[in-house]
Protein backbone atom coordinates (compact mmCIF):
# COMPACT_ATOMS: atom_id res chain seq x y z
CA UNK A 1 0.00 0.00 0.00
CA UNK A 2 1.36 3.41 -0.89
CA UNK A 3 -0.14 6.86 -0.57
CA UNK A 4 -0.50 8.87 -3.77
CA UNK A 5 -1.12 12.49 -4.70
CA UNK A 6 -4.69 13.55 -5.37
CA UNK A 7 -4.97 15.08 -8.85
CA UNK A 8 -4.44 18.84 -8.95
CA UNK A 9 -7.48 20.65 -10.34
CA UNK A 10 -5.42 23.40 -11.97
CA UNK A 11 -2.10 23.95 -13.76
CA UNK A 12 0.87 25.03 -11.64
CA UNK A 13 1.00 28.39 -13.46
CA UNK A 14 -2.76 29.02 -13.13
CA UNK A 15 -2.55 31.02 -9.91
CA UNK A 16 -0.35 33.78 -11.34
CA UNK A 17 0.23 36.51 -10.39
CA UNK A 18 -0.76 35.74 -6.78
CA UNK A 19 1.17 32.48 -6.48
CA UNK A 20 3.90 32.29 -9.10
CA UNK A 21 4.48 29.23 -11.28
CA UNK A 22 8.05 28.59 -10.09
CA UNK A 23 7.04 28.58 -6.42
CA UNK A 24 4.10 26.29 -7.16
CA UNK A 25 6.30 23.92 -9.18
CA UNK A 26 8.97 23.58 -6.50
CA UNK A 27 6.38 23.46 -3.74
CA UNK A 28 4.29 20.72 -5.32
CA UNK A 29 6.84 18.71 -7.30
CA UNK A 30 9.71 18.86 -4.79
CA UNK A 31 8.55 19.71 -1.25
CA UNK A 32 5.24 17.88 -1.34
CA UNK A 33 6.80 14.93 -3.18
CA UNK A 34 9.42 14.58 -0.43
CA UNK A 35 6.78 14.43 2.31
CA UNK A 36 4.91 11.79 0.33
CA UNK A 37 8.04 9.72 -0.36
CA UNK A 38 9.18 9.78 3.28
CA UNK A 39 5.69 8.84 4.51
CA UNK A 40 5.55 5.91 2.10
CA UNK A 41 9.03 4.77 3.12
CA UNK A 42 8.03 4.82 6.80
CA UNK A 43 4.78 2.86 6.43
CA UNK A 44 6.09 0.38 3.86
CA UNK A 45 5.44 -3.17 5.08
CA UNK A 46 3.96 -1.98 8.39
CA UNK A 47 0.85 -4.06 9.06
CA UNK A 48 -0.09 -1.86 12.05
CA UNK A 49 -1.01 1.09 9.83
CA UNK A 50 -2.05 -0.75 6.68
CA UNK A 51 -5.30 0.41 5.05
CA UNK A 52 -5.55 3.60 7.09
CA UNK A 53 -5.83 7.02 5.47
CA UNK A 54 -3.19 9.53 6.43
CA UNK A 55 -5.95 11.56 8.11
CA UNK A 56 -6.82 8.54 10.29
CA UNK A 57 -3.17 8.19 11.32
CA UNK A 58 -2.81 11.90 12.15
CA UNK A 59 -6.08 11.88 14.11
CA UNK A 60 -4.74 9.15 16.39
CA UNK A 61 -0.95 9.46 16.50
CA UNK A 62 -0.82 7.47 19.75
CA UNK A 63 -1.92 4.41 17.78
CA UNK A 64 0.98 4.76 15.32
CA UNK A 65 4.00 2.58 16.26
CA UNK A 66 6.49 4.67 18.19
CA UNK A 67 9.41 4.11 15.82
CA UNK A 68 7.55 5.72 12.90
CA UNK A 69 5.34 8.15 14.86
CA UNK A 70 7.51 11.20 14.29
CA UNK A 71 7.87 10.50 10.57
CA UNK A 72 4.10 10.11 10.27
CA UNK A 73 3.58 13.32 12.26
CA UNK A 74 6.06 15.35 10.19
CA UNK A 75 5.92 13.82 6.72
CA UNK A 76 2.39 12.40 6.94
CA UNK A 77 1.37 15.83 8.22
CA UNK A 78 3.23 17.47 5.35
CA UNK A 79 1.51 15.18 2.86
CA UNK A 80 -2.01 15.75 4.27
CA UNK A 81 -1.62 19.49 4.89
CA UNK A 82 -0.49 20.17 1.33
CA UNK A 83 -3.29 17.99 -0.09
CA UNK A 84 -5.77 20.31 1.64
CA UNK A 85 -3.79 23.40 0.66
CA UNK A 86 -3.96 22.60 -3.09
CA UNK A 87 -7.57 21.54 -2.81
CA UNK A 88 -8.87 24.79 -1.35
CA UNK A 89 -7.24 27.02 -3.96
CA UNK A 90 -7.86 27.70 -7.63
CA UNK A 91 -7.63 30.26 -10.42
CA UNK A 92 -10.15 33.13 -10.57
CA UNK A 93 -11.38 32.46 -7.04
CA UNK A 94 -11.44 34.60 -3.92
CA UNK A 95 -14.38 36.73 -2.83
CA UNK A 96 -16.49 35.59 0.09
CA UNK A 97 -18.26 32.35 0.98
CA UNK A 98 -22.04 32.02 0.73
CA UNK A 99 -24.67 30.02 2.60
CA UNK A 100 -24.12 28.12 5.83
CA UNK A 101 -20.37 28.84 6.01
CA UNK A 102 -20.99 32.58 5.62
CA UNK A 103 -23.58 32.38 8.42
CA UNK A 104 -21.21 30.41 10.68
CA UNK A 105 -18.31 32.83 10.12
CA UNK A 106 -20.59 35.69 11.07
CA UNK A 107 -21.86 33.85 14.14
CA UNK A 108 -18.43 32.80 15.41
CA UNK A 109 -16.32 35.85 14.47
CA UNK A 110 -18.83 38.70 14.16
CA UNK A 111 -18.30 39.29 10.44
CA UNK A 112 -16.37 38.00 7.44
CA UNK A 113 -13.99 40.95 7.82
CA UNK A 114 -13.32 40.09 11.47
CA UNK A 115 -12.65 36.45 10.52
CA UNK A 116 -10.32 37.57 7.73
CA UNK A 117 -8.34 39.75 10.11
CA UNK A 118 -8.05 36.92 12.60
CA UNK A 119 -6.75 34.43 10.03
CA UNK A 120 -4.37 37.03 8.58
CA UNK A 121 -3.00 37.76 12.04
CA UNK A 122 -2.52 34.05 12.75
CA UNK A 123 -0.66 33.65 9.44
CA UNK A 124 1.46 36.78 9.75
CA UNK A 125 2.44 36.42 13.40
CA UNK A 126 3.18 32.68 13.45
CA UNK A 127 6.85 32.43 14.39
CA UNK A 128 8.87 30.21 12.06
CA UNK A 129 7.47 27.47 9.84
CA UNK A 130 3.87 26.39 10.13
CA UNK A 131 0.29 26.76 9.02
CA UNK A 132 -2.68 29.05 9.75
CA UNK A 133 -6.01 27.24 9.90
CA UNK A 134 -9.75 27.61 9.85
CA UNK A 135 -11.04 24.47 11.56
CA UNK A 136 -14.29 23.01 12.81
CA UNK A 137 -14.25 21.86 16.44
CA UNK A 138 -16.18 18.98 17.99
CA UNK A 139 -19.15 21.25 18.75
CA UNK A 140 -19.36 22.41 15.14
CA UNK A 141 -17.85 25.80 15.97
CA UNK A 142 -15.22 27.50 13.83
CA UNK A 143 -11.73 28.22 15.18
CA UNK A 144 -8.72 30.09 13.81
CA UNK A 145 -5.21 29.24 15.03
CA UNK A 146 -1.75 28.30 13.76
CA UNK A 147 0.33 25.18 14.23
CA UNK A 148 4.13 24.73 14.02
CA UNK A 149 5.98 22.60 11.47
CA UNK A 150 3.61 20.07 9.86
CA UNK A 151 1.27 19.66 12.83
CA UNK A 152 -2.41 19.43 11.92
CA UNK A 153 -5.67 20.25 13.75
CA UNK A 154 -6.64 16.60 13.15
CA UNK A 155 -4.29 15.60 15.98
CA UNK A 156 -6.33 17.69 18.43
CA UNK A 157 -9.69 16.39 17.22
CA UNK A 158 -10.51 19.27 14.90
CA UNK A 159 -11.33 19.21 11.19
CA UNK A 160 -9.35 21.67 9.05
CA UNK A 161 -11.32 23.26 6.20
CA UNK A 162 -9.01 26.10 5.09
CA UNK A 163 -5.29 26.59 5.45
CA UNK A 164 -2.48 28.96 4.55
CA UNK A 165 1.04 27.56 4.32
CA UNK A 166 3.40 30.03 6.03
CA UNK A 167 6.61 28.07 5.55
CA UNK A 168 9.04 30.30 3.67
CA UNK A 169 9.08 27.83 0.75
CA UNK A 170 5.44 28.83 0.12
CA UNK A 171 6.29 32.43 -0.76
CA UNK A 172 9.98 33.29 -0.59
CA UNK A 173 10.81 33.28 -4.33
CA UNK A 174 8.19 35.93 -5.09
CA UNK A 175 7.63 37.71 -1.79
CA UNK A 176 10.98 37.20 0.01
CA UNK A 177 10.55 38.36 3.62
CA UNK A 178 7.15 39.97 2.93
CA UNK A 179 4.94 37.25 4.34
CA UNK A 180 2.15 39.80 4.86
CA UNK A 181 2.00 40.48 1.10
CA UNK A 182 1.77 36.76 0.37
CA UNK A 183 -1.03 36.35 2.91
CA UNK A 184 -2.89 39.33 1.42
CA UNK A 185 -2.57 37.82 -2.08
CA UNK A 186 -3.73 34.41 -0.87
CA UNK A 187 -7.33 35.64 -0.50
CA UNK A 188 -7.48 35.85 -4.33
CA UNK A 189 -6.98 32.11 -4.78
CA UNK A 190 -9.26 30.65 -2.08
CA UNK A 191 -11.92 28.35 -3.54
CA UNK A 192 -14.80 29.01 -1.14
CA UNK A 193 -17.02 26.38 -2.82
CA UNK A 194 -14.58 23.68 -1.70
CA UNK A 195 -14.18 25.20 1.78
CA UNK A 196 -17.98 25.33 2.13
CA UNK A 197 -18.29 21.66 1.15
CA UNK A 198 -15.67 20.75 3.75
CA UNK A 199 -17.54 22.78 6.35
CA UNK A 200 -20.79 20.94 5.64
CA UNK A 201 -19.04 17.55 5.72
CA UNK A 202 -17.34 18.39 9.04
CA UNK A 203 -20.67 19.38 10.62
CA UNK A 204 -22.33 16.06 9.78
MN1 LIG B 1 4.57 23.87 2.06
Q: Sorting pLDDT into bands at 50, 70 and 90, what band is 15? A: very high
Instruction: Provide the whole-model pTM.
Output: 0.97
Helix-helix angle 192-203:99-109, to 10 degrees:
80
Distances (CA, A) of 8 to 14, 27, 82, 84, 119: 11, 13, 11, 11, 25
CB half-sphere exposure, 167, CA atoms < 13 A: 16
Q: CA–CA distance from 115 to each of 6, 71, 92, 129, 182 (Å)?
A: 29, 33, 22, 22, 18
Q: Ligand 1 mean position to 106 CA, how many Å?
A: 29
> What would the pLDDT profile of 32-53 be if each residue is shown by its tens digit?
999 999 999 999 999 999 999 9
Instruction: Note the pLDDT tens digit of each residue in 124-144.
Output: 999 999 999 999 999 999 999
**Distance between Cα 28 and ligand 1 center (Å):** 8
- pLDDT 10s digits, 49-66: 999 999 999 999 999 999
13 touches 29 (CB < 8 A) = no
Confidence at residue 170, expressed as pLDDT on a 0 to 100 scale: 98
Please, what is the average pLDDT of the chain? Answer: 97
pLDDT one-digit tens code per residue, 147-178: 999 999 999 999 999 999 999 999 999 999 99
Q: Which of 104, 63, 83, 65 is nearest to 150 (CA)?
A: 83
Q: How far is the CA of 136 from the centre of ligand 1 (A)?
A: 22
- CA–centroid distance, 31 to ligand 1, in Å, is 7
pLDDT of the residue at 203: 85
Cβ contact 103:84 at 8 Å: no
How far, in Å, from the CA of 166 to the mean position of ligand 1? 7
Q: For residue 55, how far is its CA from the centre of ligand 1 (angstroms)?
A: 17
Distance 27 CA to ligand 1 centre (A): 6
Question: What is the tens place of the pLDDT at every residue in 68-87?
Answer: 999 999 999 999 999 999 99
Residue 13 has pLDDT above 70, yes or no: yes
Distance between CA atoms of 155 and 151, rounded to whole angstroms? 8
Q: Round to whole Å and give the CA distance between 144 and 137.
A: 10
Distance from chain centroid for Cα 56: 16
Amino acid sequence: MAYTFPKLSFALDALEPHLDAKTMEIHHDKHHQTYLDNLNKAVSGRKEVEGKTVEQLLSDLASVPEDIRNVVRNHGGGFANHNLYWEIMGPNKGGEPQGSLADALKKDFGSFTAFKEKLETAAKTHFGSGWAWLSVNKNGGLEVFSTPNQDTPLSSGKTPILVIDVWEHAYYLKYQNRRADFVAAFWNVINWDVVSEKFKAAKR
